Every structure is written in structure tokens, then in C-alpha cells.
A and B are shown apart, each in its own frame.
Chain A
Amino acid sequence: MLRKLLPWIAATLLVAAVVHVATVWLLPRAIMHRVITRMAVLGLNEIRFQNRPDASVRGVVRPSPDLLYSICAFDLSAGPLRVRSPVPGDTYWSVSLFDNATNNFYVLDDQQAHATHQSTADFVIAPQGSPATLDGLKTVAAPSTQGLVLFRTLIDDDRKLAAIDALRRKARCAPLHKA
């Protein structure tokens, strides 16, 4: 009896292993795909300035109510993307890049920017294998064609909200070369 069942048990475990490995591999990609697809409706390769998170914000879990998030979903299939933003002088700020499997492949914060005398962050996201600079701008190689650019600007004092918000709205994501 057991002899007869053994191949079926082995087959069941094989199916389980394949399903398990496939879902673990797919999970981050599926999560990112959902976010990029949702953002693509509004437009890829352009920046969205999200309102300050409050209890009505139900997109990404555990948003910080002390940050202003700006986000652009990118797709490099038509060419590299230029990312530009003023760097605030006295509050935490960062721009972070995520590939299609949620890997954070680049981050620059205000302290690093100021340490290299950048009052404006200005760089290009390009496919892997691109030159180190394009049009005189530093390139960051993206491991995948699609991904996300996420800016965080800290509201370190509510009284400064209007000024902090005005400055972060100067950030831009746009194709390096207009089609």
C-alpha cells in the first residue's frame, strides 16, 4: 500500500516545493508591479506629490505623518530618466530608488548631498551598461527597466510646512531626451 502511495506523496511534495519557491520569488515583484501599475494610470516617468499622510491615506502601510512623500514610477524602455530636486538645507531629505523586485539600489540624503556640495540633486537613471555620465550628469544603473523613485522630506517643524512643501514641489522626474 505504502509502496503504491510513495510516488504520489513525492509528487505532492514536489508540487508544494515548486509552488512555494515560485510564490516567494514572485511576491516582491507582484507587490512592486501592483504599485507601478497603479501609478501608471496617472503617468509614468513623472513625479506625484502626495499629501501629508493622515488616517485617510491607505496606499502603503505605516506611512509617516511627519514626511512628505513624492514619488515617480519609472520605465526606462523609452530611454533614461532625469531626476532633479533641490536639497533642503536643514531638514532630513532623501531620494531612494527601488527596482522591480523592491531592492533599494540607490539612496542619497541631504547630508550626503551637502557633503559633496550639491544643493540640487541632479542625476540620470539608466539601464545597466550605460556610460557613467550622460549629458554631463552622473548615471545610476537600474537593475530593472521599471521601478520607483521615492522622495522623503521631513516636516521637522509644523510651522515650516508651507516652505518645506513648496521646496519639495520643485522636484522633477522626466525623460532625459524628449521623445
Chain B
Amino acid sequence: MRTVLKVLAVLVVGTVLGLAATWFTVIRGAMAGGVKDGPWRTSLEAGSNEGNMYLRAAVAVHGFLALNRHETMYYTANTDSEGVRLDSRCTYRVKGNDPKTRWWSITAYGIDDYLIPNAQHRYSVSKNSVARDPDGSFSVMLSRNDGGENWIPLVRGLFSISLRLYNPDPGVAADPAHVVLPIIEREVC
């Protein structure tokens, strides 16, 4: 009887430990091959077709059906340029010039990784839809209150921003950590 209990304990504790290891290394873990550029993070391995099983699992969890970086580069920001977590209670300005790419878009996602429901059905600002300043630069507003032409409405809670570059210039794909990307300024909270 005691032996049966011990075997049971081994199985239960072993399973819990094994699942915890998977949780921490793959599901909670940072995307494999991750690089940082200001507040933006991207992975060199999205859409890759090689690598070990950890890389495969991380790509499946964090970049499911993503393309390789010559097709699209996916940058994600969870914080502003000062490193403070993005929060719908604040107003943000994403400021910069066109990244070196065929096409780009800036999209906000809720904490659940889906588009944020809003009455205006505005989810993204892109190379062709953005209103530019006379010098060619742009600033995209993310806020609860009307933010004008380049506005992406926020509703509540924490959120994140995706910057997608379609067919980026070869130099961008080759060195994604040193690309000039827009900054994320926190205004009022």
C-alpha cells in the first residue's frame, strides 16, 4: 500500500514538475531568437523551418502561422519608450518616420491578443492611411478620447502594439535590433 502511494506521488509530482518546466520554458518564456529595439521586440525565428523542438514550440505558441522576416517583420511593444507598461488609462503618441519597408502598419491589441472593440472600428494606422506632418513624419495617437486623424481608440486595461513591416528592406531583416523605429511617448495618465 505504501509503495503504491509512493509511485502515485512520483507520477503526480513528476508530471507537475514536467508541465511547469514546459510552462516556464515555452509558454511563459520569451519568444525564441528574440531581439530588442527600443520598446519593440521581434524574433529572428518567426516563420523559420529549422531548429530544435524548443524553438518549434515557442514559434507555435508565440508566432503561430507567422511568416519569415523577409516577408514580414513583426515587432511588438508592451511598454512605452521609457519601459513603462502600456495601459489604456494613459494617452500615447507613436512618433517617427516611415520605416524602411515596402509597407507598414501599427495595430493595438488587448491583453487577450485580439483587436480592441471600439465603436469607430479603428484598429490600425498604416503607411497609406496615416496623416503625415509637413516634414513627412507622423504621430499615431492611442487614447480613450478622440485622438484625431491618426487615432487608434483604447478601451480599458493593459494593451500592446504591433508594428508590422511587409517586405522590409534587406538591411532591416539582416539586423532587426538596429532599425530606426517610431518611439512610444506616454502623455497624460
Contact = CB atoms under 8 A, between A and B. Distances in A.
Given A61-B64, A152-B67, 6 more contacts: A12-B10, A19-B15, A19-B18, A94-B67, A102-B65, A109-B167
Contacts, number: 154
B22 A55 contact: no
Interface string B1-36: 000001001110111011101100110000000000
25 contacts: A8-B6, A13-B14, A15-B13, A15-B17, A16-B13, A16-B21, A20-B19, A20-B21, A27-B60, A28-B57, A28-B59, A54-B115, A55-B118, A55-B121, A57-B115, A62-B114, A63-B114, A66-B126, A92-B166, A104-B67, A105-B49, A111-B167, A148-B65, A157-B128, A157-B129
A150 B65 contact: yes
B68 interface: yes
A66 to B, nearest CB: 5
A139 B10 CA distance: 50
B85 interface: no
Interface in A44-72: 53-58, 60-66
Interface stretch (B102-110, B142-150, B169-177, B178-186): B102-110
A27 to B, nearest CB: 5
Contacts of A57: 114-115
Contacts of A63: 114-115
Interface in A24-57: 24-25, 27-28, 31-32, 53-57
A11 B3 CA distance: 13
- For the complex of A and B, the 7 pairs showing the least CB-CB separation, nearest first, are A15-B14, A19-B18, A28-B60, A16-B17, A55-B117, A61-B113, A20-B18
Given A55-B116, A64-B164, A104-B49, A11 B18 contact: no
B14 A27 contact: no
B172 to A, nearest CB: 15
Contacts of B54: 24
B123 A65 contact: yes
A58 B115 CA distance: 9
Interface of A: 8, 11-25, 27-28, 31-32, 53-58, 60-66, 92, 94, 96, 98, 101-105, 107, 109, 111, 148, 150, 152, 154, 156-158
Interface of B: 6, 9-11, 13-15, 17-19, 21-22, 25-26, 47-49, 53-54, 56-57, 59-61, 64-68, 71, 102-103, 105, 107, 109, 113-118, 121, 123-124, 126-129, 162, 164, 166-167
Contact of A12 (B13, B60, B107, B129): B13
A61 B67 contact: no
A158 B130 CA distance: 12
Nearest to B117: A55
A130 B181 CA distance: 45
